Structure 1
Amino acid sequence: MATTATLGLLNLLPNPSPNPNPSSGSSKSFLKPPPRRHLGPPQHLLPIAPPLPAAAVAFSLPLFLNPQDALAVGGELGILEGRTFALVHPVVMGGLFVYTLWAGYLGWQWRRVRTIQNEINELKKQVAPAAPTPVAAGADGGPPPPPPTPSPIEAKIQQLTEERKALVKGSYRERHFNAGSILLGFGVLEAVGGCLNTWFRTGKLFPGPHLFAGAGITVLWALAAALVPAMQKGNETARNLHIALNGLNVLLFVWQIPTGIDIVFKVFEFTKWP
């Protein structure tokens, strides 16, 4: 293909007209140049390129006209184009999906630590003040009266207090922060790595649902992480938006799993070990 394009470009180069001998009348008719084809502008307006640069351009131009020859396909990258490297992306992303659910659980538990205290405070406002005892316990020489039975509200307060103590011991705040940092770092890294692996194997990317969903997941990771400073200052809107973005992220993750499985089947079909 490159040779054909080169020969075609050589045929389009202008030929220098012969220099007839003015002293011979018969030679003028013999050396008269053949009629030229009109391929566009008048030929006398086209500059005559020197032979060597014109040949160099003619032989190098097909490299730009046929860029497929420069793509990373055909074994030049070795194992990077093989099946082993191609399966890294689906394995890692499968693990990140499970880790996303785990990070969401940790975040919800930390949210519970904060909201359960608000519930306790609201319940305390509903507790009626205890009536004063007219006679001191044991003042008449008899046994002290039994403690009053706690009301349902007081029992609920005690239950929530014990639950909050157990949640605080779980250190969910620090664990959720660490899980989110790991998810953001490895998620962005593997999202870009998946695109590179596709290019290594095929020489191009394939715009479609899987690629667009992966790009959306990466953007949602970044947006959710960007809300952390506002969340640390107690901004409840930022906290709710953080939860909404991560919930949408999980839905996108689930939605693109079937397309990812189809790609894995194609990897086994068109690649070889290693």
Structure 2
Amino acid sequence: MAATLTLLKLPFLPQKPSNSQSKLRITSSKQYHLPNPNEESNPHHKIFIQTIDRLNSASIPLATLAFPFIFDSQDALAVNGELGLLEGRTAALIHPLVMGGLFFYTLWAGYLGWQWRRVRTVQDEINELKKEVKPIAVTPDGSSPAADLLPQSPVESKIKQLTEERKELVKGQYRDRHFNAGSILLAFGVLESVAGGFNTWFRTGKLFPGPHLYAGAAITVLWAAAAALVPPMQKGNDTARSLHIALNALNVLLFVSQIPTGFDIVLKVFEFTKWP
């Protein structure tokens, strides 16, 4: 049974013209018995009135704590500076600044990941080269007098070079550094992606579907998908590793595509907002 709850005209809620009503419709298979404030005989009347009085006297507007999507476009919270700093230029510029930093941090995380991959691939190269080294005859006691007299072959020289390179790469601890960088990127990236959408809502009362919004949503999804591949990667799954690299490469391309659209949005922020 559908029940309709009419939002009261509280002081802290955005008001509409007098000829319209703001309604929140709740639909369920169960029956909801809502107290009628106009019925003095209703046993819940007193509790209902006390609750409304407490909401009206709240020091923090509860409307600012509600999710914007429960209102329609005419109920937008961001009107006439009701949200203060959240509608100002300072809050609007946080998103482009943070995302700009995360773009360069993405490149850094990619470099760390490539270096960690190099640690593994160098070892594979060494193992393949060792198969090409010809065995040297040894005496029954295990010594090889001729080994010291023979010049080092090109294959052995390459093995020595790669071994030294791998030792230096291992000292860089790229595995742990890449994992930490990816975790930070995932956490702050998802947080700021969502915060950017909310900031647009706070300032304008709506979102603007377009290349910037679509690319931002795709980047957020790719962050999550790439992170989900970490467990199989840790078990040595090469397919997961290749897919992880491909997703992050696509992520970087999408990030680059957002630079011109993001710059246009920043110009509009300076045009339509004021400090702070």
Whether TM-score is above 0.5 comes out as: yes
- State the Cα deviation string for residues 232-254 of structure 1 (Å, max 9, x = none): 11111001100000000000000
- State the Cα deviation string for residues 94-135 of structure 1 (Å, max 9, x = none): 0000000000000010011011101000000001122558xx
- State the Cα deviation string for residues 61-106 of structure 1 (Å, max 9, x = none): xxxxx96255322100011100001000000000000000000000
State the match for 2:47 in structure 1: none
Q: Any conservation in 1 of the 2:73–2:205 contact (CA below 8 Å)?
A: no
Distance change >3 Å, CA 206–CA 157, structure 1 → 2: same
Question: Which runs of no fewer than 5 residues in structure 1 stay unpaired?
Answer: 7-51, 53-65
State the match for 2:134 in structure 1: 128
AA at the equivalent of 1:248: L
AA at the equivalent of 1:197: N
Q: Which has the higher contact order (CA 8 A, sep 6+)?
A: 1
State the match for 1:75 in structure 2: 81
- Bigger fraction of residues in helix: 1
State the match for 1:2 in structure 2: 17
Structure 1 position 145, deviation (Å): 9.8
Aligned equivalents of 1:92, 1:167: Cα separation in 2: 31
Structure 1 position 206, deviation (Å): 0.3
Identity of paired residues, percent?
76
State the match for 2:154 in structure 1: 152
- For the pair 1:86 / 2:92, whether they are aligned, the reply is yes
Equivalent residue for 1:118, pick from 119, 124, 135: 124
- For the pair 1:195 / 2:197, whether they are aligned, the reply is yes
State the match for 2:244 in structure 1: 242
Secondary structure of residue in 2 paired with 1:87? helix
Distance change >3 Å, CA 196–CA 163, structure 1 → 2: same
Distance change >3 Å, CA 205–CA 243, structure 1 → 2: same
Aligned equivalents of 2:108, 2:83: Cα separation in 1: 37
Structure (1 or 2) with the larger CA radius of gyration: 1
Distance change >3 Å, CA 220–CA 69, structure 1 → 2: closer
Distance change >3 Å, CA 67–CA 95, structure 1 → 2: closer
Structure 1 position 268, deviation (Å): 0.6
Question: Which runs of no fewer than 5 residues in structure 2 stay unpaired?
Answer: 1-15, 21-37, 39-71
Equivalent residue for 2:175, pick from 166, 173, 179: 173
- For the pair 1:98 / 2:113, whether they are aligned, the reply is no
Equivalent residue for 1:222, pick from 221, 224, 230: 224
Aligned equivalents of 1:261, 1:73: Cα separation in 2: 24
Aligned equivalents of 2:123, 2:147: Cα separation in 1: 32
Distance change >3 Å, CA 119–CA 198, structure 1 → 2: same
- State the Cα deviation string for residues 9-52 of structure 1 (Å, max 9, x = none): xxxxxxxxxxxxxxxxxxxxxxxxxxxxxxxxxxxxxxxxxxx9
Aligned equivalents of 1:231, 1:163: Cα separation in 2: 23
State the match for 1:108 in structure 2: 114
RMSD: 2.5
Aligned equivalents of 1:162, 1:131: Cα separation in 2: 27
TM-score (norm 1): 0.71
Equivalent residue for 2:257, pick from 255, 258, 262: 255
